[in-house]
A and B are shown apart, each in its own frame.
Chain A
Amino acid sequence: MTTTATGLRSLVALDVPNPPRALRFRLAAADTATLNRREFLIWLRNPAFIFFTIVQPVMFVLLFRYVFGGAISVRVPGGYVDFLMPGIVAQSAAFASFATAISLARQLQRGVIDRFRAMPMARSAVLLGRLTADTVRLVVTLLVILGVGYAVGFRFRDGAVPALVMMLLGVALGVTICTISAYAGLTIKDEEAVSSFGLVWLFPLTFVSSAFVTVSSMPGWLQAFAKNQPVTIVIDEMRSLALGGPLALHAWQSAVWLVGICAVFVPLAVRAYRRAT
């Protein structure tokens, strides 16, 4: 070996063509499936995680139904529990994104993501694998919540299709918030900082909304925020779907918010992943 580069300067690098697009796409799908599988294996080994993912929202249902519910007056047909359930579904979906941010920050800290980036793996696979796994987790969580909701008196008032759409909207909200969390996790890079940061933005976003109380019960200055923020808009739409109400009012606004947030945070998260090191 020589460390002086002289005499080797004529070296011409190999010209390496990129793999064909169809192959790249197929491999990206395979990588996403692998990382998805990895997340599920991790969850199965971690019963505490599954337990708390599900128990925490159930606890919220019971707390609000029986502790706070009596003191909150709402004008909906089935009483507070009918008002509450769409809100709890949205709030649980948003809180589920905690785990996304923490897990990405942790993997970054441990160097797992560096290793993935040094492998012939699709750049998008880590994020997509995580988000698809999160979607499944959200569906399971929301179904459990709904089951508990039914047990404590909640009923869908507008038929099966709107009920299904409401659930899908809840999942869509959760996944959207997950993209913000993914970006936060990849940017903050520190497990503990990420979880405190999650508290700072997720609590106001879900509690200063129409999730648990009517916005009109809040002081005026707070209403301005509560009325116009995306979580309220999505919850109002979910409530209309669950209980029967004017659907068109918040439908397009919800769609614009959710698509808009994803359009901003998916590229940001992908960029943060590329640069993270």
Chain B
Amino acid sequence: MHPQLQGSAVEVAEPPSGTPRGGDRPDRGDAARRRIASWDGPAIYVEDVHKSFGDVQALRGINLVVERGNVLGVLGPNGAGKTTAVKILTTLLRPDRGRALVEGRDVARSPAAVREIIGLAGQSTAIQEELTGRENLDIMGRLYHLDPATRKRRSDELLERFDLHEAADRPTKGYSGGMQRRLDLALSLVARPEVVFLDEPTTGLDPRSRLSMWDVIREMVANGTTLLLTTQYLEEADALADEIVVVDRGTVIAAGTSQELKNQIGGDVLEFVVVERDRVAEAARAVSGLSGAEPLVDRETGRVGVRVGMDASQSLVETIRRLDALGIHTEDLGIRRPSLDDVFLSLTGHVTEGDGGDPAAQKGRSRRRRDRREQ
């Protein structure tokens, strides 16, 4: 990094995470944010929340607890109820039943107090594309009733931190998808929210933009912000979250750290393709003793996969040794993280139903199901 840039980055850095929260942070001088009795419970607390839209039960008694400063990844396919949960926690929807507290403020009874301390970004966008990045930030600062000096300082700081300073004075219409997401996240952080909600922040981004988004999210979290993040990618929850809950059809079906979840679903998958198709069975036999799990064999493609538990690298070495001893040639040998489909298959016995958000496909499927029932 250019030394000058580095210098300014240090200058604009957030106060260390040890700074007492809710204390007199210098930038807090906005009229709207009122000092409210301190809360020492969890930052997010959701108890038995139900929400229906007509006949559709989006949430059927969901429970979540996120301690202050932690990152919770809410993992689930389309239609699992992730967005509904975020909308309830950000006061956009009222729960039908149950309660949800954000920093002790009840989302149904004190929505205005919740809005003062949260930030929201993700699927929706607050960006006005005719305006420049800096103007967008300034408008947000005004809407949070920050004074002009604070607005300016916050904008500069966020533009620098999210690597947008060069594009700051260009209309956001010309920003790439990744830049727009980063700016959008910056917009939600203008007022230094205590709790941030990110609803599928990287859906639709290319891999490189996704990685840079992960970086800015990590940096945000390092400053002690509580984060609830929804995602369809196990990999993303794994990379960012302290704890993960898996939701399906409106309830939490599994919870724990990513390691615990992987244990629960049997860990990583070792996969390889046997070059000589007639030796596939032999190769499968060779690795079947690795973890006790039976290998999955696809004779068509010569692909062999086996769950290897937590000892993935040991298993990898062992596999190579055994196959080499037999003189079996392989391609594409490697360890694969279990996908969301693997998680779902092992937790629920059914595969995910969202299929990348194609409502037509979903409709078709449910129609087929209905047809089957009617026969």
Contact = CB atoms under 8 A, between A and B. Distances in A.
Interface of A: 1-5, 8-9, 11, 13-16, 18-19, 23, 26-27, 30-31, 34-35, 37-38, 41-42, 45-46, 110-112, 114-121, 277
B92 A277 contact: yes
B131 interface: yes
A221 B51 CA distance: 51
A8 B42 contact: yes
A158 to B, nearest CB: 42
Nearest to A31: B143
Contacts of A4: 63
In the complex, which of the residues B33, B37, B145, B243 has the most CB atoms of chain A within 10 Å of its own CB atom?
A: B145
Contact of A13 (B72, B87, B91, B105): B105
Contact of B105 (A16, A35, A112): A16
A35 B105 CA distance: 28
Interface stretch (B115-123, B304-312, B366-374): B115-123
Given A119-B115, A120-B112, 6 more contacts: A1-B67, A5-B48, A30-B145, A112-B124, A112-B128, A121-B143
B126 interface: yes
A42 B242 contact: no
B36 interface: yes
Interface residues of B, number: 61
Contacts of A9: 47
Given A19-B34, A30-B142, A277 B93 contact: yes
B65 A38 contact: no
A5 B120 CA distance: 25
Contacts of B160: none
Interface string B106-139: 1001101101101011011111101100010001
A118 B139 contact: no
Interface of B: 31-34, 36-37, 39, 41-42, 45, 47-48, 63-67, 70, 72, 87, 90-93, 99, 101, 103-106, 109-110, 112-113, 115-116, 118, 120-121, 123-128, 130-131, 135, 139, 142-145, 171, 187-188, 242-243, 245, 252, 255
Contacts of B121: 115
A162 B197 CA distance: 56
A254 B316 CA distance: 83
Contacts of A11: 41, 45, 101, 104
In the complex, which of the residues A14, A38, A111, A121 has the most CB atoms of chain B within 10 Å of its own CB atom?
A: A14
B49 to A, nearest CB: 10
Given A1-B66, A13-B101, A38-B139, A27 B31 contact: yes
Nearest to B252: A3
A31 B145 CA distance: 8
A3 B65 contact: yes
Contacts of A45: 130-131, 171
Given A4-B63, A8-B42, A42-B128, A118 B118 contact: yes
B125 A115 contact: yes
B139 A111 contact: no
A46 B171 CA distance: 11
Closest A-B pairs by Cβ, 10 of them: A111-B124, A16-B113, A16-B110, A3-B255, A115-B126, A45-B130, A13-B106, A14-B104, A34-B142, A118-B90
Contacts of A1: 42, 65-67, 70, 72, 242-243, 255
Contact of B47 (A5, A16, A35, A41): A5
B63 A3 contact: yes
Contacts of A114: 87, 92, 120, 124
B105 A14 contact: yes
A27 B65 CA distance: 33
A31 B32 CA distance: 11
B123 A27 contact: no
Contacts of B72: 1
Nearest to A9: B47
A119 B110 contact: no
Given A14-B104, A34-B139, A42 B65 contact: no
A22 B336 CA distance: 60
Contacts of B171: 45
Contacts of B36: 14, 16
A267 to B, nearest CB: 20
Contacts of B103: 14
B112 A41 contact: no
Contacts of B87: 114, 277
30 contacts: A1-B42, A1-B65, A1-B255, A3-B65, A5-B63, A5-B65, A8-B41, A8-B47, A9-B47, A11-B41, A13-B101, A16-B105, A16-B113, A19-B112, A23-B31, A38-B128, A38-B131, A38-B139, A110-B124, A111-B123, A112-B124, A112-B125, A112-B128, A115-B124, A115-B126, A116-B143, A117-B91, A120-B32, A120-B33, A120-B112
A118 B93 CA distance: 10
B245 A111 contact: no
Contacts of B126: 111-112, 115-116
A42 B112 contact: no
A9 B63 CA distance: 11
Contact of A41 (B41, B42, B115, B131): B131
B62 to A, nearest CB: 9
Contact of A117 (B33, B67, B92, B135): B92
B369 to A, nearest CB: 28
Contacts of B112: 16, 18-19, 120
